[in-house]
Amino acid sequence: MKVEDYIRTIPDFPHEGIMFRDVSTLFGDPRGFRMAIDLLLHPFTGQRIDHVAGIEARGFILGGAIAHQLSVGFIPVRKKGKLPWKTIEQDYKLEYGEAIVEVHEDAAKPDDKVLIVDDLLATGGTAEAAIKLIRRLKADVVGSAFVVDLPDLGGRNRLQTLDTPIHTLCSYAGE
């Protein structure tokens, strides 16, 4: 089986015309989840990784499992106001407006190697903000890994301008 076989597609969610790619079915299947974690890690095998940064919320599930697999630390990239200590923040554009994500200011040290993880690469705004946050900590982003790529939304192109490897497990045309 392939990763796509474990992902449920829900038409017209959250609104008409959207084909929602539900990775909860992937997470809920032990073989599928294990396969996804192994495949997300594969291109980074043999590289030094000190932390995995998971983007809220489903990136926490993947990132936590990958950090455990590598025996490294986990960095939560959270929406503004959700972290309890001193943070740095990065804003990014949404379809209608802006949002802000943040990390603790001591989440990584200079020259630490960090892998960014999330479930879905759509427009790339949140992932771009996460990469910028990690770089502001003077850590190195070794790459970014996603289960699903929606290439028509331009996220891959956006991240390619940041000169960091991008790894996805499957892609779906359209939204």
The model's pLDDT over 132-170, given as tens digits with 9 standing for 90+, comes to 999 999 999 999 999 999 999 999 999 999 999 999 999
Please give the Cα distance from 68 to 63 (Å, whole number): 8
Contact indicator for 171, 149 with CB cutoff of 8 Å:
yes
| Tens-place pLDDT, residues 18-36 | 999 999 999 999 999 999 9
Please give the Cα distance from 80 to 91 (Å, whole number): 9
Place of tokens 């796509």: 4
Question: How does the average pLDDT of the chain come out, rounded?
Answer: 96
**Catalytic: which of 58, 78, 102, 128?**
58
**Catalytic: which of 4, 31, 48, 95?**
95
Find the largest Cα–Cα distance for the chain. Answer: 45
Tell me, which fold does domain 48-170 have in CATH? Rossmann fold (3.40.50)
- For position 94, what pLDDT does the model report? 78
Say whether pLDDT at 175 is over 70. no
Active site residue 8: no
Q: Residue 97 — pLDDT band, cuts 50, 70, 90?
A: confident
- For position 35, what pLDDT does the model report? 98
Active site residue 56: no
Please give the Cα distance from 4 to 106 (Å, whole number): 37
